[in-house]
Structure 1
Amino acid sequence: MEKKLAEYKCDTNEAISLKLVRFPEDVEDDGTTFHPEYSHQIFGDDEVAFGYKGLQIQLFYTAGNLSTLFKVKYSSKVTETFDCVEPDDVEGKIREIVPAGFTYNTDDFISLLEKEANFKPFGTLLHTYTVHSEEAGEFTYQIHKADIACPGFQEYHERLQTFLMWFIETASFIDADDDRWDFFLVFEKYNKDGETLYATVGYMTVYNYYVYPDKTRPRVSQMLILPPFQGEGHGAQLLEAVHRFYCGLPKVQDITGLKKMLFFSEDPSENYVKLRDFVLAKLCQGLPSFAADKLHLGFSADMVKEAQEKLKINKKHARRVYEILRLRATDMSDEVKAREYRLEVKKRLFGPYRKNQRELAKMRKCLRPEELVSHMGQMDTQTQHEELEKSYQVVVEGYRRIIERLATQA
C-alpha cells in the first residue's frame, strides 16, 4: 500500500513550469521553460505534492505585462485507485500567491499576448545599456524607477512578486502601499513584427528609512533577476543605476545593504556581497582619496568622507572597497608589501575576536568557574589564529575575483 501511494508523490520543483512568453509558439516550446529553485513555502519542507502521477503545474506569463496562464495537468489521480485517500489541493495552494485575473485558457492567454504591444515600462527611465552576445547579437535594456502610484503598476507588481516564492528561500510579499518603497525595474527592449516591445528582466525594491533629523537611508530589500537573464550582468547594471540615483538626492545619508536577493535568504548573501563590492569598487576607483598612491598609506578619514559625500557609501563598505583596490595596487610577490597588506586586512578581521575578549572580561564576575572555562575554551588563541588565517584567505580569494571583473570593465 505504502509503495503504491509513493507513486503519487511529485517533486514540485520539477512539476512547476515557469515561462516568459513573447510569441505564441513559446507556449509549447520546452526550451523557454524554467523551474523553481524552491517551492517549500507553498508545498512544505519536503517540496512534494501528493495525489498525482505526471503532475504538471504551468505558470506562464506574457513577457512584458506578466498576464498569467495557470494550468494544472496530471495523468492520473490517487482517488481513481484509492477511495479513502485525498490528494493535495495543488490548485488552491498556487492560488494563494497568484493574484486574481489569471486565465486557465490557452486561447485567452494568446489573446492577452497580442495586447503586449500596448505595454510600456512603468515610471521614469534611469539608464539604458546594451549586452552583446556573439551568438545572438546585441540586446538593449532599460532600467526604470517606479512607485505604487503609477497607473497599473500595483497589479503588475503583484504578478511580478510571485516569482519571489520560487527563487528566494525565505521570501515574503511587501506592503507596497507604504509610500517609502521605491521600485526599480529592468526591461529588455525588442522588436516583434516591426513593433517595439518590452520584456521584464528583473527588479529591485528599496525601502527609505528615516534618519534623524531630515535624512533617509535607502535599504535594498529584494533583488531578483529572472532565470532566463541571469549571468548577463544585469544585477550589476541595476545596482549601479540605483546607487547613482540615490547619490543625486541630497536627503540621502547613505545606502545600506540587502535583505533578500535572487534565491538567497534574509541575510546578505555571498553573491550579493560580491556584486555590491564590485559595483562600489568600480565607483570608488575614480575618487582621488582612493588613488593608487594613497592606498598604501592605509584606510583614511578622507576615504570615509569622500565615499560618503560623493557616493553615499558607509564606512564599513568603504573599508572593503579600500582593501580591494589596495590589493589590486599591491605587488603580492614582494614579501614586505604582501605582509603589510595581510596585516591590514587581518586587523579588521580580528575585530570580532577582540569583542569576544571584552565580553569574556565582563563575564568573569558573573560566571561560575566551569562556565568560564567553557567560554575560554571557545576562544583558544591557536584556534583564533587558524580561523583568522582561513578568513583572510577566503576574503582575498573573493577580492581577486572582483579585481578580475574590474579588469574586464576597463
Structure 2
Amino acid sequence: MAGMNILNNKLDAYKCTANEAIQLKLVRDESDVEDCKKTFYPEMTHQLFGEQESIFGYKDLTVQMFYSAAKLNTYINMKYSDKISKDKFFDSGISLPEADNVLATITKHVPPGFTSNLDDFLTSLADDADFKPFGAKLHSYTVHKDGTEREFEIYKTDIECPGFRAYHERLQTFILFYIDAASFIDVDDDRWHYYLLFEKYKSNGNPMYAIVGYMTVYNYYAYPEKIRPRISQVLILPPFQKQGHGAQLLQTFYNDCYTRSEVLDITVEDPSENFQRLRDFVDTNNCIKLRYFQTDYLYEGFSEDMVREAQDKLKLSKRQARRVYEILRLKVTDEKNKELFRRFRLEVKKRLNAPFQKNGRDFQKLERALQPEELSQTLGCMSTEQRITFLELSFEELMEHYRHVLDRISIT
C-alpha cells in the first residue's frame, strides 16, 4: 500500500490544471510576448480536456496560444520541465499511461495556418498594419480608463464578406474557453449575421485595430413574413471585460433591429447567467423610458400594454418584457412597506409557480432544495411543501439578480 501511495504521488507530479497551463494573449507588438500582464487564461477547458480539466504527463507545463491582435495570426506551442516516461518508473511494475497529446487536442479545433515557430509569428505581426474591419461600421464610442481615452468601433458583416470566413474560423476558437457547450456554427447558412467589436488605436501614428469581442445572430423565420433574430454567441475577451463593452455591443445590435420592419422580436439561445444579467440591464435601461413602464402603471401589474409597447418599440419578447417589468416593479417598491412588497412577491411567485421549462439551472436549484432521492420527481409531482421551498429559493435568487441589475443602473 505504501508503495502504491508513493507511485500515485509521483504520478500526481505530472498532472496540472489546463485552465492554469494554457496562456492566451492578444499581441500588438513584440514586447507583448514577454509581458506577463498581457496574459489571460481560459475560464473553462472541459470541452477540450474533459470534466476534470486536467492534463497528464508533464511537469511545469505551459501552453502558449498567442494571437495577433488584428488578423488573429496564431502561434501555438508548449513548454515543460519534464515529461513522463517509463524509464522514470522502471521499478513500478505497472503499465504507465502515456502523456496527453496536448497540441493535437488543441490544434484539431484551430484552422490551418497557425505556427509553432515564434520567429515566424513575430514576423507576421507586421501584417496587422493593413487590417481593416469587415463589413459596415454601425457604431463608435470612447471609454475613459486609467486616465486615457480609448476608441472602439462595432461592425456588422456576413460570411460572404471577402476574407471574413477565414477570420471567423480563427476568432471562434476562443469560444471553447469561454462559452459552455460551445459549438462552431454552420457558416454556410446565410441567415447568420456577425457583429464585431474592435479597439481602434494608433501605432507610430498609424491607425490600427484590435479585436475586443463579437456576437453571432441567427435570423429565424416568423410566420407569415417576419423574422425573429436569435442571439447565439456573445463574447467579450477577458482583457476588455467589465468596461461596458457588452452593453455597447448588445445595444448596437438592438439599434440595428429597431430600423428593420421585418423584425418581430429578439430572442436569446440558452443565455448564461452573466449574459442574462447584461440583457436585463440593457433592456431595463431602454424600457425605463417607455410610457407603460412608468411608476403608476407598474403598480397596476404586468399588462398587455407593456407587452405591446416593448415589442413595438424595442422588439422585446413577452417573456423578456415581463422580466423587465418585475425589475422595475422592484425598483419602485419600498421593501420596508410589508404590504407593497408582499403583493410584489406574490405576483412573482405566481409566475414562478406556473408551468415552466425545466432547464439545467432549474435542476441546480432543485438540487439545493431537495434530497437526492427526490430529484427524479418532476416539478408537477412535487408536494406542496417541496414546491413552497423551491419557489422561495427561486424568488430569493431572482431578487438577488434583479438587485444587481438595479445597482448597475443606479451608477450609469
TM-score normalised by the chain length of structure 2: 0.87
Determine the C-alpha separation between the residues in 1 that align with 2:378 and 2:205: 71
How do 1:191-340 residues align onto structure 2 when only pairs under 5 Å count? 191-259=202-270, 268-340=271-343
Residue 384 of structure 1: aligned partner = 387
Q: By how many angstroms is 1:45 displaced?
A: 2.6
2:169 counterpart SS class:
helix
Determine the C-alpha separation between the residues in 2 that align with 1:379 and 1:174: 39
Residue 42 of structure 1: aligned partner = 48
Residue 25 of structure 1: aligned partner = 31
Q: By how many angstroms is 1:2 displaced?
A: 4.4
| Contact 2:195–2:216 (8 Å) recurs in 1 | yes
Deviation string 1:351-371 (CA, Å, 9 cap, x unpaired) is 139x9xxxxxxxxxxxxxxxx
Specify whether residues 285 and 114 from structure 1 end up closer, same or farther in structure 2 by C-alpha distance, changes over 3 A only.
Answer: same
> 2:15 matched to 1:4?
no
Q: By how many angstroms is 1:155 displaced?
A: 0.9
Residue 128 of structure 2: aligned partner = 116
Specify whether residues 26 and 312 from structure 1 end up closer, same or farther in structure 2 by C-alpha distance, changes over 3 A only.
Answer: same
Determine the C-alpha separation between the residues in 1 that align with 2:106 and 2:311: 44
Residue 348 of structure 1: aligned partner = 351
Q: Give the unaligned 5+ runs of structure 2.
A: 1-6, 359-376
Alignment-mate amino acid for residue 222 of structure 1: Q
Q: How many residues align?
A: 381
Determine the C-alpha separation between the residues in 2 that align with 1:97 and 1:173: 9
1:307 counterpart SS class:
helix
How do 1:144-159 residues align onto structure 2 when only pairs under 5 Å count? 144-159=155-170
Residue 370 of structure 1: aligned partner = none
Residue 400 of structure 1: aligned partner = 403
Specify whether residues 5 and 202 from structure 1 end up closer, same or farther in structure 2 by C-alpha distance, changes over 3 A only.
Answer: same
Alignment-mate amino acid for residue 191 of structure 2: R
Deviation string 1:240-281 (CA, Å, 9 cap, x unpaired) is 11122112111111100133xxxxxxxx22222211111111
| Contact 2:71–2:127 (8 Å) recurs in 1 | no
1:352 counterpart SS class:
coil
Determine the C-alpha separation between the residues in 2 that align with 1:92 and 1:37: 20
TM-score normalised by the chain length of structure 1: 0.87
Residue 374 of structure 2: aligned partner = none
Q: By how many angstroms is 1:216 displaced?
A: 1.0
Q: Give the unaligned 5+ runs of structure 1.
A: 260-267, 356-373
Residue among 152, 155, 166 paired with 2:177: 166
Q: By how many angstroms is 1:401 displaced?
A: 1.8
Q: By how many angstroms is 1:344 displaced?
A: 2.2
Determine the C-alpha separation between the residues in 2 that align with 1:253 and 1:218: 8
Q: By how many angstroms is 1:13 displaced?
A: 1.8
How many percent identity over aligned positions? 52
Q: By how many angstroms is 1:3 displaced?
A: 3.9
Deviation string 1:376-408 (CA, Å, 9 cap, x unpaired) is 995322333333233223222222221221122
Specify whether residues 299 and 81 from structure 1 end up closer, same or farther in structure 2 by C-alpha distance, changes over 3 A only.
Answer: same
Q: By how many angstroms is 1:87 displaced?
A: 2.7
Alignment-mate amino acid for residue 231 of structure 1: K
Q: By how many angstroms is 1:103 displaced?
A: 1.6
